Amino acid sequence: MPKDGFGDWREANPSDDPGAFSLPVSVPAAYRVLINAALGTPAEAALRRQVEPSDPEGVVSPNESADPLGEARYLVTPRLVHQYRNRVLLLSSGRCLGYCRYCFRRGYTSRAEGFIGEDELEPVLSYLSSNGEVEEILVSGGDPLTGTEEELRYLLARIRSVRPSLVIRLCTRAPIFAPERLSESLVGFLRGVRPLWLIPHVNHPAELGSAQRAAFARVLDAGIPIQSQTVLLKGINDEPRVLATLFNQLVALGIKPGYLFQCDLAPGTAHFRVPLSDGLSIWRELRRLCSGLSLPVYAVDLPGGGGKYPLSELALIEADRMPNSDTLRVTGIDGKVYTYRA
């Protein structure tokens, strides 16, 4: 058994064995309700494609990687990634409530590691205690809400006990896949461990059903702020009007759309990636359809560990000038040059 959460897959070439990165198939009950509500409309396919596997998933492109964000480079304990100066990412669980077929962390989630145990948590707490420059922790995975309520309470309470003012970001797809997990009881607990933000992953307006809206309302009513993330996905939400509807509806619920991400270079996900030139056109149209409040930052995680790069108008103009307009070659957070090719 490998010693750390990422394990030995990070050295592997995914094109040698695409099967090694195959995700479980799981469509949560709440998501089935959304699919049934969308039957016969374009939204039905948009929802199904996110969770139902298809043949192209078995095809690995040469530019794809087992660790597309280069996170393994920044592991400081088997479960903790420290890439940015003031924040760390905790791999709290390798499991998810449902499995997104475009998963950027599929090299990890395909291994389905369980919820973080005591022996893995201790070095995390020790690192947090001795690194005062860390101001935020992203509790991610997989999905932290795959843990039992007891496990999640224990984890967050221990983090809070060593760092009383650390900002916790709870990164989860639970409000969409399993809104019942955000029960009054759990939300009441989360209220008590603030400062805490909920960071849900939401991709389509049809994902905002009544149960999902009620879960968001419970969180907001508890005084917990929410900032969403969306992945730009071919054939799912690559229409400016679909995205604008999503972002405007999120704002109406009290949620700030944070990021619109280019799809990462994870194994077997080429069929989901929108070319940069198309992403540019979509983003330009979104600027017309959204207010400053509802418009998220359009960004890419530079492959290999270069960090988040905002695809600002200037960067996209530079990309347009390149011989292949779907190649972005820019400087990452560490001063090195990185190339993203959709």
**Candidate ranges 94-102, 210-218, 304-312, 326-334; the one touching ligand SF4 (CB under 6 A):** 94-102
CB of 86 to ligand SF4, least distance (A): 23
Closer to ligand SF4 at the Cβ: 82 or 201?
Answer: 201
CA distances for 189 relative to 159, 169, 185, 336, angstroms: 14, 15, 6, 42
Which CB, 113 or 316, lies closer to ligand SF4?
A: 113
Binding-site member from 10, 49, 79, 105 for ligand SF4 (CB under 6 A): 105
- Where on the phi/psi map is residue 335: left (φ > 0), alpha (ψ -120 to 50), or beta? left
DSSP state of 17: -
Please, where are the H alpha helices in the chain? 29-37, 42-51, 106-109, 118-130, 149-162, 174-177, 184-192, 210-221, 240-253, 276-289, 313-321
Minimum distance from residue 231 beta carbon to ligand SF4 (Å): 8
Contact 283, 254 (CB under 8 A): no
Minimum distance from CB of 95 to ligand SF4 (Å)?
A: 8
SS3 assignment, position 144: helix
Contact stretch for ligand SF4 (CB under 6 A) within 100-108, 160-168, 210-218, 245-253: 100-108
Judged by DSSP in three states, 15 sits in: coil
Q: Is 109 in the site for ligand SF4 (CB under 6 A)?
A: yes
Structure-block tokens of residue 72? 């393994």
The binder of ligand SF4 chosen from 99, 298, 309, 338 (CB under 6 A) = 99
Among 28, 142, 268, 304, binds ligand SF4 (CB under 6 A): 142
Q: Closer to ligand SF4 at the Cβ: 265 or 316?
A: 265
How far apart CA 107 and CA 104 sit, in angstroms, is 8
- HSE on the CB side for 144, CA within 13 Å? 28
For residues 262 and 279, what is the distance between their CA atoms, to the nearest angstrom?
A: 8
**Shortest distance (Å) from residue 324 CB to ligand SF4:** 28
CB of 5 to ligand SF4, least distance (A): 13
Query: Dihedrals φ, ψ of 72, to 5°?
Result: -60, -30
Number of residues that bind ligand SF4 (CB under 6 A): 11
The residues facing 298 across adjacent strands are 260
Compute the Cα dihedral for 28, 30, 31, 36 and give only its sign. Answer: positive
- Provide the mask over 180-219, with x wherever binding to ligand SF4 is found by CB under 6 A and - wherever it is not: ---------------------x------------------
Q: Does 103 bind ligand SF4 (CB under 6 A)?
A: yes
* Dist CA 144 CA 113 (whole Å): 12
Dihedrals φ, ψ of 182, to 5°? -85, 65
- For residue 110, the minimal CB distance to ligand SF4 (Å) is 9
Nearer to ligand SF4, 151 or 334 (CB): 151
Tell me how far, at minimum, the Cβ of 105 lies from ligand SF4, in Å. 5
Closest CA to 95 of 150, 29, 141: 141
Smallest distance from the beta carbon of 173 to ligand SF4, in angstroms?
Answer: 4
Contact call for residue 143 and ligand SF4 (CB under 6 A): yes
Nearer to ligand SF4, 163 or 201 (CB): 201
Nearer to ligand SF4, 4 or 285 (CB): 4
Tokens of 306: 């270069």
Footprint of ligand SF4 on this chain (CB under 6 A)?
96, 99-100, 103, 105, 109, 141-143, 173, 201
